[in-house]
C-alpha cells in the first residue's frame, strides 16, 4: 500500500505542476477513481485506507484548481467535478473515523471555505493553501511523518481570499451539481467545533468521554450528509457509504448512520416518504446486482454482509415497499445460496425474517430458506436462525398463512401448531453436534408447518449425494514396484 500511496501522491504533484491536460488528465482522474476504490486489507487492517486518504487530498486539490479558475489542469465539465465530489461524499459517510473526518473537512473547505471545526459562515477573511500547497502538505505528512493542520492554518498560506462555493471567472468545471444544496447541508453540521481528543490533550481522559465525543462528531456528519440522498447525482455514493457504516463493527458509527437514515426516511410527509423508500430500496437492490456474490471476491466479502444487515434494518422498520419483495428475495437467495461465509449467512437471516412480513410465495420461500438454515452444518447459523424464528413467530399471535400463491393449496398453520413449533424451537439444542437429535426436531418442524422436506441444499435433511469411488488406474508404476517387491 505504501507504493500505491506514493504513486497517487506523485501523480497529484505532476498533474498540478505540469499541468496535465486532455487524455493525460483523463488518465489521472481514472487513476484517482481507482485509488478511491482501494480497499485492500492485510493483518494490519484496511491498508487501502492509506491510499484513499492521499487520493482525497489530490482530488480536493484538483477541485480547488477548478473552483479558482487557475492556470492548471482543467476538467472537461461540471459532470466530472460532480463525480469526484460524490467520491468525497462516500468517504465522508463510511466507517473509518479518520477518513470520514478528513473527507468532511475537505468538502467544507471546498464548498464553504472553512474547516470542519469552523463556524460554517462562509469563511470571510480566511486564507487557505493553494492546490499545489495542499499536495505539498500531504507529501510532508506521508513521506516525512510531519503533523500539519489539514485545513491550512500553518502560517504559510498562499491561497485565495475568496472561499465560497462560487466559481471564479473562467472556471468551466465548477460548480458541481446541486452545489447550493451541498453547501447548505455542510453548513448545517453541528458539534464539530470541539477539537478531536488527540488535538486537545485528551491522552489521559476518561475513555467513555472520549468515545462519546467521537460518537457526537460522527452523528453530526451523518445528520448533515444523509439528507443529500435526495440528490440523484450523489445518492449511489452516499447509499454505498452508509451500507458500509451500518454494517460495520464500530457501534457508535453504525448507530449514527442507522439513526440518520431512518430519520431521513421517517421524517418526510406521506408522498415524500413513499418516494424516498422507493429510491433507497432501489439503491439497495442495485448494489446487490453490482457486487459479485462469490465468497472469494474481495468486494463481495466487504459489502454483501453489511448490505444484508442494512436491508434487514430497513425491513424491520417497514421501509421496504411490498412490490420490491420478490426481487429482493431473488437477490438474497443468489447471494446466500452457495455461500459458506458464516458472517454473510448470519447477516442474511434478518432479511429472510423481514420477508416473512408478506404472505404468499415470498413468505413461503423465505420460510423454506429459514428452515434450511436451521439444518445447516454451522452451529452458529442454526442458533441464530432459531432465535430469530422464535421471536418472529411469537409476534404472529394467531394463525400463520404459508399458502404459496395462486394455484396452490391453502396452507394455514393454526395457532396451536404454531405454539408447538415455538416450543420445539425453544427446547431443541441447536448448537449440538448430534445430527440425529437435530434431524428429528427438523422433521417435526417441517411437518407442523406443512412444508416439504428439502430435496437439495446443505440442510441435514437433504439427500446426500453418493460419493463416487475412484477407479483404480491400471498398470500404475507404484503398483508394478509393489507387485515385484522392488
| 3-class SS string, the chain | CHHHHHHHHHHHHHHHHCCCCHHHHHHHHHHHHHHCCCCCCECCECCHHHHHHHHHHHHHHHHHHHHHCCCCCCCCCHHHHHHHHHHHHHHHCCCCHHHHHHHHHHHHHHHCCCCCCCCCCCCCCCCCCCHHHHHHHHHHHHHHCCCCCCCCCCCCCCCCCCCCCCCCCCCCCCCCCCHHHHHHHHHCCCCCCCCCHHHHCCCCCCHHHHHHHHHHHHHHHHHHHHHHHHCCCCHHHHHHHHHHHHCCCCHHHHHHHHHHHHHHHHCCCHHHHHHHHHHHHHHHHHHHHHCCCCCCCHHHHHHHHHHHHHHHHHHHCCCCCHHHHHHHHHHHHHHHCCCCCHHHHHHHHHHHHHHCCCCCHHHHHHHHHHHHHHCCCCHHHHHHHHHHHHHHHHCCCCCEECCCCCCCCCCEECHHHHHHHHHHHHHCCCCCCCHHHHHHHHHHHHHHHCCCCCCCCCCCCCCCCCCCCCCCCCCCHHHHHHHCCC
Stretch 22-33: mean pLDDT = 94
What per-residue confidence (pLDDT) applies to 54? 93
Residue 4 pLDDT exceeds 70: yes
pLDDT at 229: 95
> pLDDT of 444-472, one tens digit each?
999 999 888 888 888 888 887 765 554 55
| pLDDT tens sequence across 205-221 | 466 777 788 888 889 99
Quote the pLDDT of residue 152. 41
Please return the burial class of 179, using the count of CB atoms within 10 Å of its CB with bins 0-12, 13-18 and 19+: buried
User: What is the mean predicted confidence (pLDDT) over 251-275?
Assistant: 88
Average pLDDT of the residues in 183-200:
67
Please say whether the beta carbons of 250 and 270 come within 8 A: no
pLDDT of 202 > 50? The answer is no
Higher pLDDT, 195 or 22: 22
pLDDT band of 442, cuts 50, 70, 90: very high
| Mean local confidence (pLDDT), 255-272 | 88
Give pLDDT, residue 445.
93
pLDDT at residue number 230: 93
Confidence of residue 197 (pLDDT cuts 50, 70, 90): very low
The answer on pLDDT for 437 being more than 80 is yes
User: Is the predicted pLDDT of residue 20 greater than 80, yes or no?
Assistant: yes
The confidence score (pLDDT) of residue 259 equals: 95
CA distances from 208 to 101, 205, 217, 259 (A): 20, 9, 14, 21
The predicted-structure confidence for 78-92, as pLDDT tens digits, reads as follows: 999 999 999 999 999
Chain mean pLDDT for the chain = 84
Q: What is the pLDDT of residues 159-188, one digit of tens each?
A: 333 444 555 555 688 889 999 999 999 998
For residue 424, pLDDT beyond 60: yes
Gyration radius from the chain CA atoms: 28
| pTM summary value | 0.85
- Rounded mean pLDDT, 460-486: 62
Residues 348, 336 contacting (CB under 8 angstroms): yes
Residue 274 pLDDT level (bands cut at 50, 70, 90)? confident
Instruction: Say what percent of the chain tops pLDDT 90.
Output: 56
Which pLDDT band holds residue 278 (cuts at 50, 70, 90)? Answer: very high
Q: How confident is the model at residue 123 (pLDDT cuts 50, 70, 90)?
A: very low
Helices 270-290 and 251-266: crossing angle in degrees, nearest 10, is 130
Please tell me the predicted confidence (pLDDT) of residue 481: 58
pLDDT score of 253: 93
The grid coordinates of residue 269 equal: 410527509
480 pLDDT more than 90: no
Mean pLDDT of 233-240: 96
Task: List, for residues 315-360, the tens digit of each pLDDT value.
Answer: 999 989 899 999 999 999 999 988 999 999 999 999 999 999 998 9
The percentage of residues in the chain with a pLDDT greater than 70, rounded to a whole number, is: 82
Amino acid at each position: 500500500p505504501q507504493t500505491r500511496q506514493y504513486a497517487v501522491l506523485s501523480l497529484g504533484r505532476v498533474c498540478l505542476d505540469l499541468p496535465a491536460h486532455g487524455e493525460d488528465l483523463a488518465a489521472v482522474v481514472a487513476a484517482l477513481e481507482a485509488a478511491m476504490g482501494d480497499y485492500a486489507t492485510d493483518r494490519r487492517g484496511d491498508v487501502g485506507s492509506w491510499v484513499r486518504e492521499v487520493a482525497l487530498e489530490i482530488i480536493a486539490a484538483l477541485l480547488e484548481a477548478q473552483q479558482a479558475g487557475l492556470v492548471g489542469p482543467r476538467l472537461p465539465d461540471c459532470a466530472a467535478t460532480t463525480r469526484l465530489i460524490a467520491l468525497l461524499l462516500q468517504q465522508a459517510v463510511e466507517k473509518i473515523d479518520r477518513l470520514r473526518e478528513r473527507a468532511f473537512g475537505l468538502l467544507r473547505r471546498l464548498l464553504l471555505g472553512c474547516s470542519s471545526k469552523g463556524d460554517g459562515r462562509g469563511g470571510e477573511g480566511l486564507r487557505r493553501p493553494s492546490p499545489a500547497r495542499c499536495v505539498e502538505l500531504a507529501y510532508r505528512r506521508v513521506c516525512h511523518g510531519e503533523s500539519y493542520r489539514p485545513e491550512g492554518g500553518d502560517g504559510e498560506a498562499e491561497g485565495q481570499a475568496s472561499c465560497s462555493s462560487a466559481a471564479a471567472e473562467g472556471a468551466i468545471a465548477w460548480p458541481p451539481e446541486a452545489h447550493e444544496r451541498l453547501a447548505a447541508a455542510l453548513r448545517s453540521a453541528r458539534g464539530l467545533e470541539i477539537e478531536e481528543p488527540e488535538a486537545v490533550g485528551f491522552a489521559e481522559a476518561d475513555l467513555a468521554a472520549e468515545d462519546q465525543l467521537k460518537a457526537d462528531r460522527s452523528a453530526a456528519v451523518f445528520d448533515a450528509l444523509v439528507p443529500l440522498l435526495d440528490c440523484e447525482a450523489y445518492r449511489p455514493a452516499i447509499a454505498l457509504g452508509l451500507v458500509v457504516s451500518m454494517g460495520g463493527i464500530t457501534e457508535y458509527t453504525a448507530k449514527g448512520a442507522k439513526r440518520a437514515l431512518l430519520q431521513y426516511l421517517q421524517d418526510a410527509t406521506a408522498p415524500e416518504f413513499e418516494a424516498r423508500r422507493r429510491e433507497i430500496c432501489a439503491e439497495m437492490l442495485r448494489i446487490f446486482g453490482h457486487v459479485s456474490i462469490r465468497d472469494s471476491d474481495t468486494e463481495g466479502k466487504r459489502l454483501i454482509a453489511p448490505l444484508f444487515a442494512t436491508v434487514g434494518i430497513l425491513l424491520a422498520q417497514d421501509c421496504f415497499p411490498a412490490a420490491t419483495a420478490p426481487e429482493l428475495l431473488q437477490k438474497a437467495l443468489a447471494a446466500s445460496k452457495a455461500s459458506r461465509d458464516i458472517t454473510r449467512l448470519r447477516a442474511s437471516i434478518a432479511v429472510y425474517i423481514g420477508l416473512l412480513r408478506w404472505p404468499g410465495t415470498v413468505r413461503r420461500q423465505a420460510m423454506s430458506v429459514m428452515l434450511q438454515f436451521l439444518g445447516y452444518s454451522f452451529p452458529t447459523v442454526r442458533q441464530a436462525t432459531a432465535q430469530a424464528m422464535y421471536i418472529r413467530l411469537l409476534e404472529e399471535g394467531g394463525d400463520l398463512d404459508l399458502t404459496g400463491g395462486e394455484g396452490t393449496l391453502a396452507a394455514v398453520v393454526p395457532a396451536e401448531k404454531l405454539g408447538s413449533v415455538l416450543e420445539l424451537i425453544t427446547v431443541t439444542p441447536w448448537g449440538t453436534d448430534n445430527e440425529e437429535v437435530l434431524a428429528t426436531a427438523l422433521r417435526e418442524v417441517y411437518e407442523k408447518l406443512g412444508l416439504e422436506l428439502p430435496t437439495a441444499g446443505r440442510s441435514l435433511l437433504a439427500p446426500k449425494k453418493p460419493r463416487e469411488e475412484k477407479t483404480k488406474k491400471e498398470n500404475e508404476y507404484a503398483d508394478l514396484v509393489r507387485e515385484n517387491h522392488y
